[in-house]
Homo-oligomer: A and B are copies of this chain.
């Protein structure tokens, strides 16, 4: 039971994370194709003691491939995923291309593994801020429906790729050295600054990152009734997102109940040490599989103990992207 595997976008930050998670989890594969754009074609990379040559992704790349992990951007997914499916592969797509397609399941294995069965060749991986935000919300929602979520994100540079992480480091050094920071990847200075997420704005003033969080959550929870509003922000952190989440429940719920539910939730680590003022931080979540959750408090601004505040942190490249996709492939 070992797959013939392909990775599309292998040279990117998520592509590299795919490789390290495949190795770590001993994901079974009998062959591996490493695909990227023509720019990277011909590059050598060694993996698990073998050398691989990066091939340019074309529509013919997917012969003899069982599972193709895509993380090469939405336009490349739109261009090549149908060819991969036609060639017989199942595509796990990390881009936004197919997430809201009603024919395509959008899956977080801890939340809606059953959705995977309906796939017609493509399974979509949700957006990083959606996955990280709702991992600890789902176990609560299951026992006490969430009526409304107010989310504010604190997002890492990695969501914009490896070059954005380098830009954060470069700009930080430039500023510390008294130089003007160079802007190449982000539209604004990221070092020692923060800004509203750099995705396109819709007519209602919400950026795509915010709209994804709203729509993807409803699809994954299979619950159109859940009311969600989000404000997505980039902060100068490398690769773990944080989110401040305010939840309004249907019925009363206490912080102790929340902690108890989350302590037994898969993929979630409760770090809620009030005595030592020790709560989830990006440096806790970096490189970890689980989403960390803490600052579990009764929201006293809502009557009848129906409000809870949470603070979460999760690795954007792992559970926010590569790990979740590989968990989907493991489910197959």
In the complex, which of the residues B187, B302, B309 contacts A231, with contact meaning CB atoms closer than 8 Å? B309
What residues of chain B lie closer than 8 Å to A154, measured between beta carbons?
154, 194, 233, 235
Q: Which residue of chain B is the closest to A207 with respect to CB atoms?
A: B277
Q: Contact string, A274-304, partner B, CB cutoff 8 A, digits 1/0?
A: 1001010111000000000011111111100
Contact across chains for B244 and A194 when beta carbons are under 8 A apart = no
Copy count, this protein chain: 2
Contact across chains for A236 and B237 when beta carbons are under 8 A apart = yes
Residue A26 at the chain B interface, CB threshold 8 Å: no
In the complex, which of the residues B148, B172, B187 contacts A176, with contact meaning CB atoms closer than 8 Å? B172
What residues of chain B lie closer than 8 Å to A235, measured between beta carbons?
154, 194, 235-237
Residue A242 at the chain B interface, CB threshold 8 Å: yes
Query: Given A150-B301, A233-B154, A300-B229, is A277 in contact with B244 using a C-beta cutoff of 8 Å?
Result: no
* Docked CA distance A235–B227 (Å): 28
In the complex, which of the residues B187, B194, B281, B297 contacts A205, with contact meaning CB atoms closer than 8 Å? B297
* Docked CA distance A236–B237 (Å): 8
Chain A interface residue number, banded? 35 or more
Q: Contact string, A160-201, partner B, CB cutoff 8 A, digits 1/0?
A: 000000001100110010000000000111001111101011
* Docked CA distance A111–B176 (Å): 38
What residues of chain B lie closer than 8 Å to A200, measured between beta carbons?
277
Residue A238 at the chain B interface, CB threshold 8 Å: yes
A contact set with B: CB distance below 8 Å = 148-150, 152, 154, 168-169, 172-173, 176, 187-189, 192-196, 198, 200-201, 204-207, 227-229, 231, 233, 235-238, 242, 244, 246, 255, 274, 277, 279, 281-283, 294-302, 307, 309, 311
